[in-house]
């Protein structure tokens, strides 16, 4: 049993809206009406990672992107990370929480519309869990449909990262959910919650892997969407790949690719060409 004064993990700045006062938000609205909204999940990631991995990654991606954009003269705010997503295919593992696509669409639309009432106009939905992408796209369109002047985009950084996986990860065997890359990213921010020694490598049939996240899949930048069956059927452990290869340096490389792409897209579409 941990002592009750033990620190669980450290969260770096900038704060999300949840850690700012209303006065601080109003002051910040004088310089930016753009908000990054991390959309995570609570789902099994194997024996070595916490269930909130995708939520933590989503928040960190937005945090780092906000820092970079500030340096580029493009200030933004960050919304609290949404901790639930559509995780139906992880329900074979205890602790996973899934919400329906319809619930996620409504949740994201209502988050954006609440912020719109307060003066925000630009909404950037950024996933920590690619299973949320389709609902995020529907929500973004509904926000545009329901307002005269809001802009809403969904940024799928996984496509940019997938294109250069071979320069980021050391494994050549197919790293996926909870594998080398994702474990490395969590090692950067939450080393206290990561236990690679509890996990063994688990690689799956290459054809099944291709349909989960191969280059043909829309989430990796391709043109085909494959519906996902239960992960329990392909991995009894919950993860795919070799988490024992994970290193913080690999996580830093992955974040660099993601943040380079996101900050360039957001600068172009919301600051350089704001129409």
175 near Zn ion, rule: CB under 5 A: no
Measured from the CB atom, the residue of 60 and 150 that comes closer to Zn ion is 60
Q: Which residue is nearest to Zn ion (CB)?
A: 54
- Separation of alpha carbons 173 and 128, rounded Å: 23
Question: Please, which residues bridge with residue 37 across strands?
Answer: 125
Contact 75, 270 (CB under 8 A): no
The window from 25-33, 50-58, 134-142, 243-251 that contacts Zn ion (CB under 5 A) reads 50-58
Interface with Zn ion (CB under 5 A), residue from 44, 54, 60, 130: 54
Cα-based distances in Å from 143 to 75, 78, 134: 22, 18, 15
Contacts with Zn ion by CB under 5 A: the residue count is 2
CB of 177 to Zn ion, least distance (A): 6
The window from 31-39, 45-53, 138-146, 189-197 that contacts Zn ion (CB under 5 A) reads 45-53
CB of 178 to Zn ion, least distance (A): 7
The window from 52-60, 73-81, 150-158, 229-237 that contacts Zn ion (CB under 5 A) reads 52-60
Cα-based distances in Å from 14 to 59, 62, 65, 74, 211: 11, 10, 10, 14, 37
Instruction: Say which residues have a Cβ less than 8 Å from residue 24's Cβ, sequence separation at least 6.
Output: none
The window from 25-33, 53-61, 114-122, 263-271 that contacts Zn ion (CB under 5 A) reads 53-61
- Interface of this chain with Zn ion, residues 143 to 162, rule: CB under 5 A: none
CB of 28 to Zn ion, least distance (A): 30
Contact 136, 150 (CB under 8 A): no
CB of 74 to Zn ion, least distance (A): 28
CB burial class (10 A; 0-12, 13-18, 19+) of residue 5? Answer: exposed
Measured from the CB atom, the residue of 43 and 116 that comes closer to Zn ion is 43
Measured from the CB atom, the residue of 28 and 203 that comes closer to Zn ion is 203
Task: Give the DSSP H/E element, type plus range, for residue 181.
Answer: helix 180-189
Q: Tokens 């949404």 belong to which residue?
A: 82
The window from 46-54, 73-81, 133-141, 257-265 that contacts Zn ion (CB under 5 A) reads 46-54
Q: How many CB atoms lie within 10 A of CB 12?
A: 10
- Separation of alpha carbons 268 and 13, rounded Å: 24
Measured from the CB atom, the residue of 15 and 47 that comes closer to Zn ion is 47
Residues that bind Zn ion (CB under 5 A): 53-54
């Amino acid at each position: 049993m941990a002592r009750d004064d033990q620190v669980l993990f450290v969260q770096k700045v900038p704060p999300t809206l949840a850690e700012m006062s209303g006065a601080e938000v109003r002051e910040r609205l004088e310089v930016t009406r753009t908000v990054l909204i991390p959309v995570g999940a609570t789902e099994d990631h194997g024996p070595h990672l916490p269930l909130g991995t995708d939520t933590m990654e989503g928040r960190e991606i937005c945090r780092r992107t906000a820092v970079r954009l500030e340096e580029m003269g493009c200030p933004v705010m960050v919304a609290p990370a949404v901790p639930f997503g559509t995780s139906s295919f992880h329900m074979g593992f205890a602790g996973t929480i899934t919400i329906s696509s319809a619930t996620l669409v409504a949740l994201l639309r209502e988050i954006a519309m609440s912020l719109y009432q307060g003066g925000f106009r630009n909404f950037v939905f950024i996933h920590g869990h690619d299973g949320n992408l389709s609902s995020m796209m529907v929500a973004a369109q509904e926000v545009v449909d329901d307002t005269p002047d809001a802009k809403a985009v969904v940024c799928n950084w996984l496509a940019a990262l997938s294109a250069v996986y071979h320069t980021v990860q050391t494994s050549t065997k197919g790293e996926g959910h909870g594998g080398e890359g994702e474990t490395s990213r969590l090692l950067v921010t939450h080393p206290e919650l990561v236990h690679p020694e509890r996990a063994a490598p688990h690689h799956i049939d290459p054809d099944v892997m291709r349909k989960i996240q191969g280059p043909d899949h829309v989430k990796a930048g391709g043109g085909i969407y494959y519906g996902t069956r239960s992960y329990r059927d392909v991995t009894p452990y919950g993860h795919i790949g070799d988490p024992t290869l994970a290193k913080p340096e690999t996580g830093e490389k992955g974040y660099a690719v993601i943040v380079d792409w996101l900050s360039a897209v957001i600068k172009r579409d919301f600051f350089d060409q704001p129409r």
